[in-house]
Structure 1
């Protein structure tokens, strides 16, 4: 583990996140990069200033950064596969309401028999605020994560209004015309042009843009994209990643080593929003891996690299449907194959980014085992260095101490016993397990109660439960309160934390370490 991450370009990190959001929304890889390319070309044609083009660049790459927030809810609505549903609905994101609703009914859970589709369709149609609620929370989550990535205020403000429309019928605020941030106006058209062109050809894309001109879309942006968009896409070439990196508007933004951990922690939280069962997992694994590395005698730089790999090790999870991750019963053979795919997807995202390449090998092999029984490569023995084994053991132990849909969290002592059973079975060695248990013994002592933003102890309890996806009624039952009292607590939490949705509150809890087992 001598190839350490030191510094790099902000664009590299945001491009990696763009690839991850492609996975999470069911789009072809590099959809976000191609959108960025079209957005930049349109910005040039519109004569936008360099500072505005920089905002457009990052908004195009990060527009769907909030996509993991309600994946579990979407999966329930869609019969299990949130990613396939998002992919099917993608062309309708900026459609007229009637058109979008008809398309929604045709595609909701359309792989299920009609009698099983009827219930979800009725529930969705009986909740007219569903779309507004979902997209508004995506916006707050994206803006909050972008702030932690070090994005400019203009980028964060644009992401906070990523689904506004030219005609004022968008979300979250219903802004119209020139009140909609210019980056949103440009990226909205460019994204839909790329999506329709790749699915149905440029003629179909032109028809859609023309139909929605002056409705969802800024007419000036539509005009330049319709005129030259096909030519711009053709000019992208065979390596979109390199082209987009080279096209970053000046000044080129850098991320220094001192700021890298904060940015990677934002990536971890983006990943862990995917399911209520995962929230806080990646940051917890990272802390445990660093401590275990130090206990095992690793150099400080190597332990730091191990922790950073822990922060991004599960980014590939976003490419697997929540019907798999949230399933309460046994997984089918096909579902297990999907689970085994997520380290490969992590590696695929990380290796495309020079800044994160030094972390890719560690992250991609956290499910490998010494006896060769792990995945996705099936490596064994000497092919698994100490760092890989430490990260794997830290991940395994931490997961055992977290709730999962098929079992409750294990007490630390039982989790330690089960990890030692893995040694007896030949899947880990005693070296990494002793180091992890040593580290876990230090962090498993009752922590000092943390109450950021002036939260009371009871508000911290409520926040931890709603961040795990509990309803107000479930929180009330767990804490022996009335649902009305829970509602009051949530109002106070939102005010103190400076958030307005559950997505924002959940990220606040994750940012302040309030979800540790």
Structure 2
């Protein structure tokens, strides 16, 4: 069967399913239960309705609550530098019982306060950009760009206060605090803590409204596992679609050396599926599964991923759960459930040596075997903290040897390697090459991979001041202020 590589529509996905997927990634990265954001979103919507907000405001509060952790993969490297374990560090911050909250409670220490201001700026800028890429309205974009503002003006990133802060930010914060504190300390103490934060983090009137309804809303959530209700986004977003690539980029932001990884794997997998003669529906499933195969990666701290030597057994066990968490995502993301199931086979091997199922040849679907081989080839050809990149010919030889030993499907590997090299790395979307100069793209490529100005200068044989000038130009052209936001925009535009 000869199917054109351009004949498969691979990008249009239900908007709400992508939002739910991003929320799932955020909950993993924050060390929260995987139903945390859906619960918080439902309660934020209920709070908006109780406050006599109109339907647009109710939708905004629900959406902001679902996406409030969307920027947490973007500042994971900085969080890891500050805490070591970025996942546990975030989880600990959310559990702090101070009246000023996790971020503001550090403001008394100038060094840490400055670090948290930087972290919040990265998070908020990327969250706002994600909302724009998803086609959400300007009010939602603004709210997601000011997630850590406080009622008394002590928040971040802009120090807004009172009515300057969108009501949806207050509602998402209140609902989030209720879910976390109720889970950790019980209802009575949760309400006390929220009361202490009134007029500091959020308005007293909204806090009182939440406290008055807390018991009934929590009981309703307990009795309604589907988390459906009058503030559901199903109606508001019905028929709306977005590009699945944005989810891949959010996933890859967690580790700078993963920039563009999921999209490379997706292109390789799609090419192999076409070479093997799979029909268009299965080609699409392979491509989409490759884009989201890293969902579960958010649950593993960066300090583990960046380990240069052999992993400790406890760390290895966390890595083995990555595809398990990806499989769990299938239960929450609607139309992408089939793709998430395929994605969970990314690390399985025909000889049973893979994970997490330790599945064998007869139980691994062809889409899963394609994904596993494409993932291996893409990873080998790019440097990792524990090794240099393999030359493409050497990577191909190793993959064939592994297939001969039974660790990959030999027919799949042959199809993968049969595709011309130029086609293997061809981007799905044509880059906006006129936006940045060639040198600006070179500088952006290195900083997106985590290089400092000095390191980028050494790689490009230019001065650090020249690198800084190029970065300022890139930021201006991409309309951003942080490296993470520049990386997200550049990958979405096909510049990286």
CA distance in 1, matches of 2:163, 2:71: 24
1:479 aligns with one of 460, 470, 473: 460
CA distance in 2, matches of 1:146, 1:485: 32
1:127 deviation in Å?
A: 5.3
Structure 2 equivalent of residue 401 of structure 1: 381
Structure 1 equivalent of residue 228 of structure 2: 244
2:165 aligns with one of 164, 167, 180: 180
| Mapped pair 1:141 → 2:121 | no
Structure 1 equivalent of residue 20 of structure 2: 15
SS at match of 1:89: helix
Q: Residue 297 of structure 2 contacts residue 322 of structure 2 at CA under 8 Å; is this kept in 1?
A: yes
Superposed counterparts of 1:312-331, under 5 Å: 312-331=292-311
Q: Residue 8 of structure 1 contacts residue 255 of structure 1 at CA under 8 Å; is this kept in 2?
A: no
TM-score by length of 1: 0.88
Query: Aligned residue pairs: how many?
Result: 487
CA distance in 1, matches of 2:230, 2:326: 24
1:432 aligns with one of 403, 412, 425: 412
Structure 2 equivalent of residue 74 of structure 1: 79
CA distance in 2, matches of 1:200, 1:444: 52
Structure 2 equivalent of residue 115 of structure 1: none
1:52 deviation in Å?
A: 0.6
1:44 aligns with one of 49, 74, 80: 49
Instruction: Quote the RMSD (CA, aligned, Å).
Output: 2.6
Gaps of 5+ in 1: 106-123
SS at match of 1:351: coil
Structure 2 equivalent of residue 222 of structure 1: 207
1:374 aligns with one of 351, 354, 359: 354
Structure 2 equivalent of residue 120 of structure 1: none
1:334 deviation in Å?
A: 1.5
CA distance in 2, matches of 1:352, 1:189: 23
TM-score by length of 2: 0.92
Q: Residue 478 of structure 2 contacts residue 489 of structure 2 at CA under 8 Å; is this kept in 1?
A: yes
| Per-residue CA distance 1:422-454 (angstroms, 9 max, x = gap) | 112111232100111123623357999955452
| Per-residue CA distance 1:145-190 (angstroms, 9 max, x = gap) | 2222232222222101111111112111111111111111211112
1:461 aligns with one of 411, 418, 442: 442
Superposed counterparts of 1:434-453, under 5 Å: 434-439=414-419, 441-443=421-423, 450=431, 452=433
Note closer, same or farther for the CA distance 1:438–1:306 as it changes in structure 2 (3 Å cut).
Answer: same
Note closer, same or farther for the CA distance 1:441–1:20 as it changes in structure 2 (3 Å cut).
Answer: same
Q: Residue 7 of structure 1 contacts residue 255 of structure 1 at CA under 8 Å; is this kept in 2?
A: no
| Per-residue CA distance 1:360-394 (angstroms, 9 max, x = gap) | 22100011111111111111122223221111111
CA distance in 2, matches of 1:506, 1:250: 31
1:92 deviation in Å?
A: 4.1
2:334 aligns with one of 354, 369, 380: 354
Gaps of 5+ in 2: 1-8
Q: Residue 11 of structure 2 contacts residue 245 of structure 2 at CA under 8 Å; is this kept in 1?
A: no
CA distance in 2, matches of 1:399, 1:12: 27
CA distance in 2, matches of 1:293, 1:99: 47
Q: Residue 93 of structure 2 contacts residue 103 of structure 2 at CA under 8 Å; is this kept in 1?
A: no
2:37 aligns with one of 32, 35, 38: 32
Deviation beyond 6 Å, 4+ runs, structure 1:
4-8, 445-449
SS at match of 2:387: coil
1:171 aligns with one of 149, 156, 161: 156
Q: Residue 99 of structure 2 contacts residue 196 of structure 2 at CA under 8 Å; is this kept in 1?
A: no
CA distance in 2, matches of 1:388, 1:98: 41
Superposed counterparts of 1:139-288, under 5 Å: 139-240=124-225, 242-244=226-228, 247-248=231-232, 251-255=235-239, 259-260=241-242, 262=243, 264-288=244-268
Note closer, same or farther for the CA distance 1:97–1:292 as it changes in structure 2 (3 Å cut).
Answer: closer
1:479 deviation in Å?
A: 1.3
Note closer, same or farther for the CA distance 1:440–1:149 as it changes in structure 2 (3 Å cut).
Answer: farther
1:239 deviation in Å?
A: 4.2
Note closer, same or farther for the CA distance 1:316–1:238 as it changes in structure 2 (3 Å cut).
Answer: farther
Q: Residue 453 of structure 1 contacts residue 496 of structure 1 at CA under 8 Å; is this kept in 2?
A: no
| Per-residue CA distance 1:305-355 (angstroms, 9 max, x = gap) | 110111111111001111111111111122111111100000101232221
